[in-house]
């Protein structure tokens, strides 16, 4: 299996190259050159598999044995998910008949990004160790310096994914005083030698600009071998496809339905996914393209609704306004201007609704050119438009909904104190609440009959534990008699977190040169020579 770039200028990259470089040389994102199909007997063969066993089967369809031997892949998977608190890694919770919550937040930082980043950290270490073992005695040591900017969630998940990994140093920039206290504590209380938190005077955008500047600085990049863990890394998408399969099997097991039976075929599986950079829902798209029975993937956005507007207008258009157009909402991990992973879906739309004359390779190259053109327009004019048939094609599997802060808060309240007595109370975090509100709107709009009185089952992906976003949860529930955040929501792991020892370097100006000095000083202190 080889990988190509969505912008058409690069192909035949191995999995290792795609993962270690992150972004294509033409600025595009890596996609597999074919989407593999599932083995014919997958429903019977996998029906009782654990998350880890499913992961090995699915990942090995994209990673050849020559890239990572199966025994090694198994070890990587086992160690990646041994850090999760839930036995089935991503358990499914039944709220009521036909409505389920897939809990993706049982990893070390209590957010779904752990599912991918625990694996990515181990992959980096594995590839580096293997490369180093092939060097002659006294040869060079291959290392990676991961540099990233965060407004909260990605930073802590990256730090927990990379802490203590051999030959990897990680620097995470966050805007000083603009990250929630829990998130700041999660990042800065990790004391491993290879973890460096930089608290920068400035905004999140300033931090992000510095990171871009460092990646564009050839000399600095060559000296330190910069690596990225942002959501465009292919390995992150791949790791996330696993829980769609896991959800499918868990649901059928809980209903006592054999996946290979006619009864299973009658069910419509709908997934509602709180969406920002489009990584999570894109993983569902790959699962569907591989052959997982899927009726609809519901893209749930907050008021930063570029994706929702795309489906309504065929135009992919940046919002403008104060703060560069990004609106601060109750679900900050979804506050985006553009969705970086959407480019991957655009490639498939371009390929499948574009020209049809020519051989397969030529058509793939044309799709790359089309995407390249769209991205250029987006950069220069802030908008591009696609043809009707591209949106129609996308609508075959996707639907979209936009959820306001008021609706998010109302959903948190409605799920904590359900009117329907057959519904089990549940505390939603604000991101999950966006997905759940979108699912309820979709059920109403489409007048769906949910299982068992009809065919539809909605699975809402829960992307964070409610304790991570205490303010939104408390504000939504503090008028409910008897609600007690500490008792009802706060996990024991968070007790005392705010008072633990921290390690963080304050950087007084958002200046790339200053950041370079800090990074090099701390690398020397870590014992690294360059
Ligand atoms: C990152 C994140 C999202 C958005 O996921 P994408 O893959 O970027 O669409 C949603 N919720 C939470 C809590 C997140 O951390």
Residue-wise pLDDT for 260-303, tens only, equals 999 999 999 999 999 999 999 999 999 999 999 999 999 999 99
Residue 465 CB less than 6 A away from ligand 1: no
Which DSSP symbol is given to 6? T
Residue 463 CB less than 6 A away from ligand 1: yes
The CATH number linked to 303 is 3.40.50.1100
Cα-based distances in Å from 325 to 3, 43, 199, 319, 401: 34, 45, 24, 5, 20
| Residue-range definition of the domain harbouring residue 441 | 96-102+237-340+385-476
Q: Quickly count: other Cβ atoms within 10 Å of residue 406's Cβ.
A: 9
Residue 296 CB less than 6 A away from ligand 1: no
Q: What is the per-residue pLDDT across 64-97, written as a single tens digit (0 to 9) for each?
A: 999 999 999 999 999 999 999 999 999 999 999 9
pLDDT at residue 455 in the model? 96
**3-class state of residue 299 by DSSP:** strand
As a whole number of angstroms, the distance between CA 251 and CA 272 comes to 15
Which atom from ligand 1 is nearest to the alpha carbon of 432? 11
Residues in the chain: 530
In a domain, 407, yes or no: yes
As a whole number of angstroms, the distance between CA 192 and CA 39 comes to 42
Residue 382's nearest CA partner among 463, 469, 306 is: 306
In a domain, 467, yes or no: yes
CA of 12 to the centre of ligand 1 (A): 30
For the chain, the domain total comes to: 1
As a whole number of angstroms, the distance between CA 350 and CA 342 comes to 12
Mean pLDDT of the chain: 95
> Which residues contact residue 379 at a Cβ distance below 8 angstroms, ignoring those fewer than 6 apart?
none
In a domain, 115, yes or no: no
**3-class state of residue 150 by DSSP:** coil
Q: Quickly count: other Cβ atoms within 10 Å of residue 269's Cβ.
A: 24
Which residue has its alpha carbon closest to ligand 1 atom 11?
463
In a domain, 455, yes or no: yes
Q: Which of 153, 240, 298, 462 to mutate to test the pocket of ligand 1 (most atoms within 8 A of CB)?
A: 153
As a whole number of angstroms, the distance between CA 295 and CA 442 comes to 13
Residue 156 CB less than 6 A away from ligand 1: no
Residue 324 clears pLDDT 80, i.e. is over it: no
Which atom from ligand 1 is nearest to the alpha carbon of 280? 7
366 is catalytic: no
Q: What is the per-residue pLDDT across 16-57, written as a single tens digit (0 to 9) for each?
A: 999 998 888 898 999 999 999 999 999 999 999 999 999 999
CB-based contact 341:6 (threshold 8 Å): no
Residue 156's nearest CA partner among 127, 180, 125, 129 is: 180
Can you read off the two tokens belonging to residue 411?
């959903």
In a domain, 285, yes or no: yes
In a domain, 34, yes or no: no
Residue 416 CB less than 6 A away from ligand 1: no
pLDDT at residue 99 in the model? 98
In a domain, 529, yes or no: no
- Enter the pTM of the model: 0.96
CB-based contact 506:176 (threshold 8 Å): yes
């Amino acid at each position: 299996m080889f990988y190509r770039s969505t912008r058409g200028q690069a192909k035949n990259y191995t999995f290792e190259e795609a993962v270690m470089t992150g972004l294509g040389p033409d600025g595009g994102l890596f996609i597999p050159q074919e989407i593999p199909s599932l083995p014919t007997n997958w429903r019977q063969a996998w029906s009782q598999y654990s998350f880890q066993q499913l992961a090995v089967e699915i990942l090995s369809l994209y990673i050849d044995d020559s890239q990572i031997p199966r025994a090694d892949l198994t070890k990587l998977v086992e160690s990646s998910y041994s850090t999760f608190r839930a036995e089935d890694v991503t358990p499914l919770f039944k709220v009521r008949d036909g409505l389920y919550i897939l809990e993706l937040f049982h990893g070390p930082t209590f957010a779904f990004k752990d599912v991918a980043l625990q694996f990515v950290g181990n992959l980096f270490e594995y590839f580096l160790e293997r490369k180093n073992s092939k060097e002659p005695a006294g040869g060079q040591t291959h290392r990676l310096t991961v540099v990233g900017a965060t407004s909260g969630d990605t930073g802590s998940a990256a730090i927990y994914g990379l802490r203590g990994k051999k030959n990897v140093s990680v620097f995470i920039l966050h805007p000083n005083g603009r990250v929630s206290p829990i998130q700041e504590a999660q990042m800065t209380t990790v004391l491993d030698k290879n973890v460096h938190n930089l608290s920068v005077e400035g905004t999140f955008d300033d931090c992000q600009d510095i990171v871009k500047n460092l990646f564009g600085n050839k000399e600095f990049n060559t000296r330190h071998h910069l690596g990225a863990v942002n959501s465009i890394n292919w390995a992150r998408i791949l790791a996330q496809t696993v829980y769609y399969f896991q959800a499918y099997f868990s649901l059928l097991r809980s209903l006592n339905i054999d996946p290979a039976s006619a009864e299973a075929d009658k069910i419509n599986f709908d997934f509602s996914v709180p969406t920002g950079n489009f990584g999570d829902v894109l993983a569902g798209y790959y699962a569907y393209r591989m052959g997982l029975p899927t009726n609809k993937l519901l893209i749930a956005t907050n008021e930063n609704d570029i994706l929702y507007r795309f489906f309504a207008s065929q135009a992919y258009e940046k919002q403008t306004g104060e703060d560069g157009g990004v609106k601060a909402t109750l679900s900050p991990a979804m506050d985006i201007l553009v969705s970086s992973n959407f480019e991957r879906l655009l490639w498939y739309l371009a390929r499948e609704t574009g020209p049809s004359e020519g051989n397969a390779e030529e058509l793939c190259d044309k799709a790359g050119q089309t995407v390249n053109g769209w991205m250029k327009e987006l950069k220069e004019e802030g908008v591009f438009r696609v043809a009707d048939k591209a949106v129609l094609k996308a609508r075959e599997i996707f639907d979209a909904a936009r959820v306001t802060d008021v609706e998010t808060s109302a959903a948190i309240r409605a799920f904590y104190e359900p009117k329907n007595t057959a519904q089990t109370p549940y505390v939603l975090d604000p991101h999950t609440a966006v997905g759940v509100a979108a699912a309820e709107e979709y059920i109403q709009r489409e007048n769906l009959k949910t299982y068992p009185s009809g065919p539809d089952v909605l699975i809402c992906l829960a992307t964070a534990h409610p304790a991570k976003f205490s303010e939104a949860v408390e504000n939504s529930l503090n008028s409910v008699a008897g609600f007690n955040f500490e008792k009802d929501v706060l996990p024991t792991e968070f007790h005392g977190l705010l008072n633990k020892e921290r390690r963080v370097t304050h950087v007084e100006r958002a200046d790339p040169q200053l950041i370079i000095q800090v990074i090099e000083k701390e690398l020397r202190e870590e014992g690294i020579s360059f």
